[in-house]
Every structure is written in structure tokens, then in C-alpha cells.
Amino acid sequence: DGSGRIFLDVNGDCFQAIVDYLNELAISSDEDPPEYPTVGGENRLILHDHLQLFGLPSSTLMSESNIIKDLSQVESIEHWLQEDGSAGTMTLLYRSSRDGLSPGAFHDKCDDNDSGDNVRTLVIIETKEGGIVGGYSNTPWDCFNGNYIGADKAFLFALSGFNTTSPCKMKLKDKDDVEAIMNDGDHGPVFGGGHDLCVEGSRVYLDVGHTYEIGPTEEFNCNENYEINEMEVFQVSDPGKQKQLSPCSEKKATLVDRFTREVNVAINQKWLTLQELEEEVFSLEESFKDEITFIDSFVSRDTSGVVMLNVSGTMMATERAVLMFAEDSVLAQQFDDTKWTEQGCKDMRVKDWEPDDVMKWMKKITDIPNNVAQLFIENE
């Protein structure tokens, strides 16, 4: 506006969380950064969008993790998921310190419930030594004993420890391998036919190189085992389900299916994005029409219906009808002329005073001379 203020149409809770984070970040050292902004419930997705709007990494996707707090580690995971088009919103399904470190607890929380919600999962394990290792599967877990199954986008990873110098990703040697994961009610998550990564009891076993690419250090490849300090499993939502088209967009959508799968996905995603932008422009146009209607009400009608308000030193104009929308509010009571002037109204506030009443009232006000009060009586 004319004062240089910018009005943002954003979620108040999410925006406040971002502002608080940036304020703390400005006064914090690099060695002790503040916690990344978080919100609860349904606002998590909104916060994700707001972070992108303001050019901040969307690490809120891992805000529920007790293991991963470093922003660079979050970005590594997001990058690995994006490589195969698997990125999505993450929701905590299982935490060993909360749900118990047992095969039963893992499968109870993480197995597919026939709804398709838990199809894609990310397993994160922190060892007692401080190492962080895990795996991703785009095939659901189950408790069938010894049942191997394929997962063409599965991979293993390590974020710290195990003599690694940087985060590393270990992909499937063959994306069509039918032993990407093993479903076994007597074990926690198991990756690979070797087993490349296996959770048994309270320990994680690493022998990478059978089904997945060999690890960067010896610690991954020589059947070592480590005591688990914490294990978490996140559901990774399908990005195709995150963006739902409006009815009018569905009618206009003509999805491409004549190229390879990867090309089709890329083209269709771009097409849907353009349609969403078109809808957003249409929504803005409708908002502008509402503003024009509001402005017209000020210039083409009786000004008696316009009310000027002083809000903390800022002058604002609105319609009397707006202030009276909530009939029992203080503003509605104040600006409802009928309750001040209409005789016989059940809510009438006007008092009929006799001259003697005026005299008594005037005498109570010390700053008014008696002769002035007498004039009121004489003139009734």
C-alpha cells in the first residue's frame, strides 16, 4: 500500500512459524541453528508450500523425525526420492522408542492395510554409534514369512557414520530384481536377497552388494551388525495424489500416454501444472471482480452507508452493512441507528429525560456552572 506494507494471503500459523524461525536464525550461530519451522495437523502441507513460496527448503517433510535434524541430510533424502519421481509428503508411521522395537510392532504400523496408503515407505535407522542408515521401498510391507518381492525404485542409503565422508545412495543392481525386499513376520524391514540390510531383534545387519550396489566403505559390505538406538518408518505419499484437479480441470485434461512412461509422466505433470495456474488466474480475476464491486459501492451509493474506522491509527473504510453482519457484536450495536433513534424498539437505548433529571445530572458534573444548568431547565 502507500505506506510500503505488503499484505500476504497466507496461513497465519505457518507464516508465524517461518517468521519465528528466520528471526532465530538471524541471531543463531552456524554451530547451533534453530529448529526448522513446524506446525501440526493439516497445516503441514500448507507449511511445505509456504516454505517453497519463500524460497526455503521444504525440510518440514521430515519434521516428525527424531533422527534426522540436519537440513543437508533432509535435502539428500529429498534429492534421492526426486531422482526416481518418488518425492512426496512424509508421514510418520512407526517409531521404535514409541511403538516398540519388535517385528510385530513394525508390521502392525507399516504393513499395507489394503487401502494402498502404506505402499511407499522410507526406513531410517540410527545406531548406538550414531550412524544413520536406511532404505526406501515403493512396494508395501507384509508379514508373509520369507516372501521376496520386487520394488523397482527401492534403494539403500547412509547419511552418517560407517566411515563415510558424505551421504551415499545404493541403488538396485537390477530394477527388475524380484528380491528388492523380503516380507517376514519374524523380522523388521529386510532389503535384498543377501540380505543387504536386515533388522533382526534390536540390531541391524549390513551386507550390501547382493541385490543393491556395493557400499562405499567396508563397514557396509562385510556382514557387520550394529545395535539400534532408534528406528523410524515414514509413509511417502504418492505425488500424483497430492494434486487433485477441480471438476472443470478434469473435463479439460487430456493426458498423454503415447510415449515412454517417463516422458508421459513429465509431460502430464507439466500439463496439470499449467491447468492449475490457469485456475489460479481465474480465481484472481474473480477476486478482482469482487473488489470492483466493493469499490463501486463507495462511489455510486449514498455515503451514509460508508463508515470510517480508526484502527490503531490506520483509517479504514467499510460499509455499515458489513459491521452489522453479526447482529450481536459490539460494532453492530454501535452502528445500528434503529437501536438509538427508533422509539418503541425493544432494544431502545434512548432515555426520555425530564428537565429535573437534566438539572440533577448537570449538577453532578463539577465543571458545568449552575447558571448553565439553569439554562437547560428554562429552555427545556
Per residue of the chain (380 residues), what is the pLDDT tens digit? Answer: 567 667 777 888 888 888 888 888 888 776 677 777 878 767 777 887 788 777 776 655 677 889 987 777 888 898 899 888 888 888 899 999 999 999 999 999 998 765 556 689 999 999 999 999 999 999 999 887 778 999 999 999 999 999 898 999 999 999 999 999 999 999 999 999 989 999 999 999 999 999 999 989 888 988 899 999 999 999 998 654 544 444 444 445 566 666 676 776 777 777 777 887 888 888 888 888 877 776 776 666 566 677 777 777 777 777 777 777 677 676 777 777 666 544 444 554 455 667 677 677 666 666 667 677 677 667 66
Name the β-bridge partners of 315: 310
Give the chain's length: 380
User: Domain map of the chain by residue range?
Assistant: 1-56, 66-238, 247-299, 304-378
Beta-sheet pairing, 314-319 with 181-183: unpaired
State whether the Cα torsion 314-319-320-321 is positive or negative: negative
Cβ atoms of 363 and 373 closer than 8 Å: yes
Amino acid letter for position 26: A
- Report CA 39 to chain centroid distance, whole Å: 7
Structure-block grid coordinates of residue 363: 449538577
- Report CA 176 to chain centroid distance, whole Å: 35
Structure-block grid coordinates of residue 374: 439553569
From the number of C-beta atoms within 10 Å of its C-beta (0-12, 13-18, 19+), residue 1 rates as exposed
Note the maximum CA span of the chain.
111
**Beta-carbon contacts of residue 244 (< 8 Å; ≥ 6 apart):** none
Does pTM surpass 0.85? no
Cβ atoms of 204 and 133 closer than 8 Å: yes
How far apart CA 298 and CA 309 sit, in angstroms, is 15
